[in-house]
Amino acid sequence: MTGDFLAPDAPLRDWDNECLWHPFTPMSAWIKEQAPIITGSDGFFLQDNEGRRYLDGISSLWCSVHGHRVPEIDEAIRRQLDHVAHSTLLGLASEPSIRLARALIDRAPAGLSRVFYSDSGATTVEVALKMAYQYHRQKSAVGEDRSMFLCIGNAYHGDTLGTVSVGGIDLFHRCYKHLLFRTLTVPSPVALRVPAGHSRESWLQHCFDEVERQLRENHQHTAAVVMEPLVQGAAGILVHPPGYLRHVRQLCDQYNVLLIADEVATGFGRTGTLFACEQEQVQPDFLCLAKGISGGYLPLGATLTTERVYAAFLGDPWQGRTFYHGHTYTGNALACAAGLASLKLFEDR
């Protein structure tokens, strides 16, 4: 034992170096860097254990959409603590999760009617991938095997094996390539680096055409297109040209392929509307939400889908049509209470 882990004068720097493994971090460099240890916050600022203040310029990884210590969200969580902090959704229902599901459906693009909770952005996409695959198997009279997904170059959807499979940033996934399932990839529709032989206009047209070609040639084996609508965040804030999202939606309809919109980063006001899909009046088959869903307070994810998809999972228990997937903290009451307060803030402000 090294002492009282709650002591005010605990050697936090030493314990950080001895015990913690930070995400996406070269740990040898981390120990030399002496990065700030955050102990407080106020509005859009963070404070470290030496009293220095920092502007939270990345909103704590694009989560804190209203800032820190927001009185309305603080109070909503305190009120919920007076009732129940968590109860499972496996075999039970809970008031905050029901209310938030209703609120999300009422504000999401038309046609989305069901909410499946999880606990992070990656898990919301993982849920959509599994649902899309199982949907096609159960809709087909012969148990059709649509095991491929079409994704965008330089995409980032998370770090589970499924989401890494549909990601396009080689640095993050090349080590795991033998564990991943096969995907189809089309180039990102941005003219940041135009290949030789193309003008800006011809390159963007090529990007549009490639989606059509891949779906025309592979739609019988493709469950869904997976994309970050309008903006690819982790790739460097790559902004798609107007009309691309709608083009993909129309092709999905034409070839009977589902559309998964990963709005983990773009959702909750990041593009000027509550959801990026609204910019082009597009209804996805799956809408993946996390990060700002709880105002940046607690881990929460939600995968929204349509009644058409939901209906494919209905039947008697013996038919095996159930979606056998879940998380311990699915629909956590505190997180859902925070989510409700966050949505109200968007409307009040």
Structural domain spans, the chain: 12-69, 72-348
Contacts with 312 (C-beta within 8 Å, 6 or more apart), sequence order: 134, 135, 138, 139, 321
Check if CATH label 3.90.1150.10 holds for domain 12-69. Answer: yes
What pLDDT score was predicted for residue 242?
96
Is the predicted pLDDT of residue 291 greater than 70, yes or no? yes
Tell me, rounded to whole angstroms, the distance of Cα 325 from its chain centroid.
17
Six-digit token string for 191 = 């003219």
- Residues in contact with 119: Cβ distance below 8 Å, sequence separation at least 6, in sequence order: 299, 300, 301, 327, 329, 330, 332
Instruction: Please give the C-alpha separations between residue 73 and each of 93, 285, 296, in angstroms, as whole numbers.
Output: 22, 30, 10
So what's the pLDDT on residue 173? 85
Residue 112 has pLDDT above 80, yes or no: yes
Biggest alpha carbon distance in the chain? Answer: 66
Tokens at 297, concatenated = 């307070």
Provide the pairing of β-strand 258-262 with 238-239: unpaired
pLDDT over 90 at 142, yes or no: no
Q: Whole-prediction pTM value?
A: 0.96
One DSSP character per residue, 234-261 reads TTT-EEPPTTHHHHHHHHHHHHT-EEEE
Nearest to 303 by CA among 91, 98, 92, 112: 112
Judged against a pLDDT cut of 90, whether residue 90 lies above it is answered with: yes
Region 281-309 average pLDDT: 98
Digit-coded pLDDT (tens) for 19-78: 999 999 999 999 998 899 999 999 999 999 999 999 999 999 999 999 999 999 999 999
Confidence of residue 3 (pLDDT cuts 50, 70, 90): low
Q: Cα separation of 206 and 106, whole Å?
A: 37
pLDDT in tens, 64-85: 999 999 999 999 999 999 999 9
Residue type, 32: K
The amino acid sitting at 284 is P
pLDDT at 234: 92
pLDDT at 244: 98
Confidence band, pLDDT 50/70/90 cuts, at residue 14: very high
Above pLDDT 90, what percent of the chain?
Answer: 90
> pLDDT class for 2, splitting at 50, 70, 90?
low
Predicted pLDDT of residue 70: 98
pLDDT band at 191 (very low <50, low <70, confident <90, very high): confident
Under CATH, what is the fold of the domain 72-348?
Aspartate Aminotransferase; domain 2 (3.40.640)
Nearest to 292, CA basis, from 58, 116, 95, 113: 58
